[in-house]
Chain A
Amino acid sequence: MRVYLAKRILLIVPTLLGVASLVFVIMRVIPGDVALLILGGDSGQIDRAQLAAMHHRLGLDQPLVVQFGTWLWAALHFDFGASLWTGRPVVEELLVRLPLSLELAILATIVAVVLAIPFGMLAAMRQDSWLDYVIRVISIGGLAIPSFWAGILVILFLVINFGWGPPLEFTPPWVDPWANFQQMVWPVVTVGYRYAAVTTRMTRSTLLEVMREDYIRTAWAKGLAERVIVIRHALKNAMLPVITLIGTEFAFLIGGLVVTETVFTLNGVGRFVVDAVAHRDYPVVQALVFVIAFGFVIVNLLIDLTYAWFDPRIRYR
């Protein structure tokens, strides 16, 4: 186990290094000079000295390798620099927006788990029955309906029927739980539906696979009740891929909230990163991509370790 653990942790390093270089290169390849943008765009009124001074102030006049090295070295010490636009530290900007996105992601995950496991189980237990069909159609619907469209419809419905207006500022749950609930309930429903749909399908298909295993046949032969077989014997083994999916989806979600946050005009991490790319705010984009990738890699590591913990065959491979 120890060798396996060491190997898995070591493999994180090249991945994160790769992500860091990739985002650095991509951001510099994108056309558009951030110094020009800050100084007032393409009006043609900017003289060279002013531009050069701005480049120097932002540290953009140094060779790319030096810029990359400085950034990476600082990032390894959890110092992601300051936004080129506001001058405030990236971490500070991030901490303002993270609670909203995190709350959205966590609540959506809860919705997904609570709905997906029982319904996926039901669908698998009654494969090809009308119940299975209904659950499958609803869950495939969750994958087919674009979340931004669901959001538009919800807003349309709320505006027409209740004269609802989008909230201007995020209220954290510890300040006013009711106001927070009102703000978050619809975004959570639109994100959670899709998430629940993916998870339901996974639960159904893995459970179907497990139900064909020999030890399940033995359990039937022993005369155990269906409930006992499914819950105590099958579900336990079917849960591993489902947990994997929930984990990876969660990691994806943090980076994928852009659309939902745009529809509901929420000031979260997703919107932040889109704006940062548009403004060529290099440190912000680099930090966000790095943090998202870090989260993704850590979630994956935890999943692999859970697997190895449960299944000794993996450890010795």
Chain B
Amino acid sequence: MSVQYPLVEASASAPLAQRLTRGDQVVKFIRTKPLGAAGAAVILAMMFVAAFAGTLARYDPYQGDYSLQFARPSTEHWLGTDEFGRDLLTRIMYGARIALFVGFTASFTGCTLGALLGVLSAYWGGTVDLLLERLMDILLAFPQLILALAIASILGPAIQNVVVAIAIPIVPRVARVVRATALSVKEHQYVEAVQALGAQRKRVVFQHIVPNVMTPYIIMLTAQFGGAILAEAALSYLGLGTADPTPSWGLMLSGSAPLYAEKAPWMAVFPGVAISLGVFGFNLFGDSLRDALDPKLRRG
């Protein structure tokens, strides 16, 4: 009976988990979060279409052909044409540009401003915190759509004004989350230690607090991205967003699409599919990113 159990050796030589390279991390993300990877694929496809709309599309997004009004989907016009004889697929492809532009600029501006105010509020505290918090309360309580409505009425229906209208309501929500995170970071002993060592305010904020709120910031950014695309569509649908003939997905669904829906249902169907698919991709990706980045949600 000379069975040897190499127990001690095994535990002593157990290798440390290797640090993942960036490529490995991507592979791991795809393997553990298939839904997130699917979302990323949708986002990449959307970016590709937006970037190469000029070469991919076979028609002009603005110039119609009146002899081809309400053409059914065919090999010529895959998704049919609208009331001006414009190719729907072409317009949807160009629409990806609008959606990505508004989605990115609105969520980035709103989240960055919100995060800055949140950090400011948490770090300075006192009167600054009190005033900023009240301001955020006011913005939260103010009905979002009426704010957008007013901004559109004051600044006029143009794409950059839509961005402003969508970005403002994002600010207080992000500020709240970032403020709470920053407050909890501030309580950590190492931050106290750094302060005790005589570090300047600027150093504490940028070296210690900002890196720690980056994770919620990125999570909120991806989460708000899809929401911003949706908000643009809703505002354009109500006639408060971009103006004709801009190929905005929401605008394509307003006015004429429901009017001719019985005659040309493709007009009312495909732009909605584009919106849903785009927002779906961003939400799917954002969700999985949160699961991957938030230690509280990782599988135990």
- Chain A residues in the interface with B (C-beta under 8 A): 11, 14-16, 18-19, 22-23, 26-27, 29-32, 127-128, 133, 136-137, 140-141, 143-146, 148-149, 152-153, 155-156, 159-160, 201, 205, 208-209, 212, 252, 255-256, 258-259, 262-263, 270, 273-274, 277, 285, 288-289, 292-293, 296-297
Decide: A15 and B137 in contact? CB cutoff 8 A.
yes
Q: Find B143's partner among A30, A137, A255, A297 (CB 8 Å cutoff).
A: A255
Q: Interface SS of chain A: helix, strand, loop or mixed?
A: helix
Decide: A293 and B142 in contact? CB cutoff 8 A.
yes
Decide: B149 and A141 in contact? CB cutoff 8 A.
no
What is the CB-to-nearest-CB distance from A37 to chain B, in angstroms, rounded to a whole number? 13
B194 beta carbon closer than 8 Å to chain A = no
B299 beta carbon closer than 8 Å to chain A = yes
Q: Which are the 10 A-B pairs with shortest beta-carbon distances?
A: A255-B143, A149-B272, A18-B138, A144-B280, A144-B279, A293-B141, A15-B137, A26-B150, A30-B153, A145-B276
Between A and B, 14 residue pairs with Cβ closer than 8 Å are A15-B141, A22-B138, A23-B146, A27-B150, A140-B280, A153-B269, A208-B297, A255-B146, A262-B238, A270-B145, A277-B146, A289-B146, A292-B146, A296-B140
Within 8 A of A (CB), among B148-204: 149-150, 153-154
B79 beta carbon closer than 8 Å to chain A = no
Q: Which residues of B contact A153 (CB under 8 A)?
A: 268-269, 272
- Given A144-B277, A262-B238: 9 more A-B contacts, CB < 8 Å: A15-B138, A26-B150, A143-B226, A146-B250, A153-B268, A153-B269, A156-B258, A285-B146, A289-B143
Decide: B134 and A14 in contact? CB cutoff 8 A.
yes
Bound complex: CA A252 to CA B233 (Å): 18
Chain B: residues with Cβ within 8 Å of the partner, total of: 46
- Chain B residues in the interface with A (C-beta under 8 A): 35, 134-135, 137-138, 140-147, 149-150, 153-154, 226, 230, 233-234, 237-238, 250, 253, 257-258, 261-262, 265, 268-269, 272, 275-280, 283-284, 287, 296-297, 299-300
With known contacts A18-B138, A159-B262, A277-B149, A252–B284 Cβ distance under 8 A = no
